[in-house]
Amino acid sequence: MQDKVSAPTKTKAKSKTELRAKPTLFIDGEAGTTGIEIRDRLAAVDTVEVRSIAPDKRKDPTARKALMAGVDLVVLCLPDDAAKEAVGLASELGEAAPRLLDASTAHRVAPGWAYGFPELDAAQSKVIAGAKHVSNPGCYPTGAIALIRPLVDAGLVPADYPISVNAVSGYSGGGKSMIESYETGQASSFELYGLGLEHKHVPELQLYAKLTRRPIFVPSVGNFRKGMLISVPLHLDALPGRPTGGDLEAVLEQRYAGSTYVKVVRAADPSAKGGRLEAEALNGTNRLELRVFANEKHRQAVLVAKLDNLGKGASGAAVQNIGIMLGVEV
């Protein structure tokens, strides 16, 4: 007896992603530092297909637009103005436009763009998963926001507290000219910069840390390629309720409990080296470590974040967001 054949049913048209064996992406600006790192990190991943443009077509709007039309996600690894132009190209595709992940500073505080720090709060990963446009966080704000935002949310640090953020990064975060100056021995061993107090990361840091008062941000660069430390000093007696260092640490631990990439490390951990902390231990990873160093005798504390400025501070975070946006393991 023949099996019964069900009557055909109407099905909803499948999306571009559903029709393909695996989702596809195009890195617009893949020859830059961040783009190269993203490609390298995706090289061992078989859940996405990376499509490239011919080197002689990288600045050809028509060729780029055509490639955008054929992929699910475009990652923008471009200077700010070029990133804005790329968004304009994609928008011309209308309903066929791909989703966008922008690694530049251009859209980090722009309306309509989701902030690509999944650990920002309990809901942010879901926000990223459903967003059409996602802005990848800056390296410095990633560490500073991770330290400050939970304490503001918990009421331990007032939103109008006069926050100061100090940071040091490897020279790879400074672009081609800085990289060349260090690798050819022309640069100083260490230098402060951004002393006009107009660093482009400050608006992002202030917004997502939920600060109502503009923080003072003092960045610096050292003679090492990758690695980053961000520190936030606090006078404990100037905070509501006069918390201890342990209170601050407990809030951070609660916020990031179960997080894959963000961990709170007790200051007594051997890696703290008795009051010293170096910047390069997390290089090549997507990890972010947070520490609270407190002196209860003097009622002072220093919050410290450690990360790879090209990892969780740039390309590693981008790959994490790619996975969330496309719903795949990366």
pLDDT digits (tens, 9 = 90+) for 176-215: 788 888 888 888 899 999 999 999 999 999 999 999 999 9
What is the average pLDDT across 86-98? 96
The answer for residues whose C-beta is within 8 angstroms of residue 31's C-beta and 6 or more apart is 55, 58
Which SS3 state, helix, strand or coil, does residue 217 take? strand
User: Sign (positive/negative) of CA torsion 119, 123, 129, 131?
Assistant: negative
Residue range 221-232, pLDDT digits in tens:
999 999 999 999
Q: How many domains does the chain have?
A: 2
What is the average pLDDT across 243-270? 91
Same domain, 113 and 170: no
Cα gap 206→211, rounded to integer Å? 5
Write out the DSSP string of 86-114: HHHHHHTTGGGPPEEEE-SSTTTT-TT-E
Cα gap 124→91, rounded to integer Å? 24
Are the C-beta atoms of residues 25 and 74 closer than 8 Å to each other?
yes
Same domain, 121 and 146: no
Half-sphere exposure of 246 (CA within 13 A, CB side): 1
Tokens of 242: 């006069």
Mean of pLDDT over the chain: 91
Same domain, 93 and 172: no
- Whether the pLDDT of residue 11 is over 60: the answer is no
At 290, which helix (H) or strand (E)? strand 288-295
Residue range 311-330, pLDDT digits in tens:
999 999 999 999 999 999 99
Same domain, 195 and 231: yes
- In the prediction, which pLDDT does 180 show? 84
Are the C-beta atoms of residues 135 and 117 closer than 8 Å to each other?
no
- Whether the pLDDT of residue 7 is over 90: the answer is no
CATH number of the domain where residue 150 is located: 3.30.360.10
Residue 86 resides in a domain: yes
* Given the residues 75, 76, 103, 139, the one annotated as active site: 139
Question: 122 lies in which domain range?
Answer: 21-137+315-326
Residue type, 185: G
Known catalytic residue at 77: no
CATH number of the domain where residue 39 is located: 3.40.50.720
Residue 11 resides in a domain: no
Same domain, 220 and 292: yes
Same domain, 158 and 251: yes
Residue range 27-78, pLDDT digits in tens:
999 999 999 999 999 998 999 999 999 999 998 999 999 999 999 999 999 9
Are the C-beta atoms of residues 162 and 217 closer than 8 Å to each other?
no
Residue 55 resides in a domain: yes
Residue 10 resides in a domain: no
Residue 6 resides in a domain: no
The residue among 330, 269, 328 whose CA lies nearest residue 304 is 269
Strands 228-235 and 164-170, how do they pair? Answer: antiparallel
- In the prediction, which pLDDT does 21 show? 77
- Whether the pLDDT of residue 136 is over 70: the answer is yes
- In the prediction, which pLDDT does 291 show? 96
The residue among 147, 145, 119 whose CA lies nearest residue 251 is 147
H-assigned helices in the chain = 16-19, 33-42, 61-69, 80-91, 124-130, 139-153, 175-183, 202-208, 245-256, 316-326
Residue 9 resides in a domain: no
- In the prediction, which pLDDT does 273 show? 53
Cα gap 7→164, rounded to integer Å? 68
Exposure of 245 by Cβ count < 10 A (0-12 exposed, 13-18 middle, 19+ buried)? buried
Radius of gyration of the chain (CA): 22
Same domain, 133 and 150: no
Q: How far is CA 102 from the centre of its chain?
A: 10
Same domain, 162 and 205: yes
What percent of the chain stands above pLDDT 70? Answer: 92
Same domain, 167 and 269: yes
Cα gap 64→54, rounded to integer Å? 10
Same domain, 25 and 167: no
Question: Which has more confidence, 110 or 176?
Answer: 110
What percent of the chain stands above pLDDT 90? Answer: 82
Same domain, 84 and 223: no
Residue 209 resides in a domain: yes
Same domain, 120 and 156: no
- In the prediction, which pLDDT does 19 show? 46
- pLDDT-derived band at 268 (thresholds 50, 70, 90) equals low
Residue range 240-254, pLDDT digits in tens:
999 999 999 999 999
CA distances from 203 to 16, 134, 252, 261, 311 (A): 36, 17, 23, 24, 22
* pTM for this model (two decimals): 0.89
The residue among 317, 209, 323, 310 whose CA lies nearest residue 261 is 317
Residue 320 resides in a domain: yes
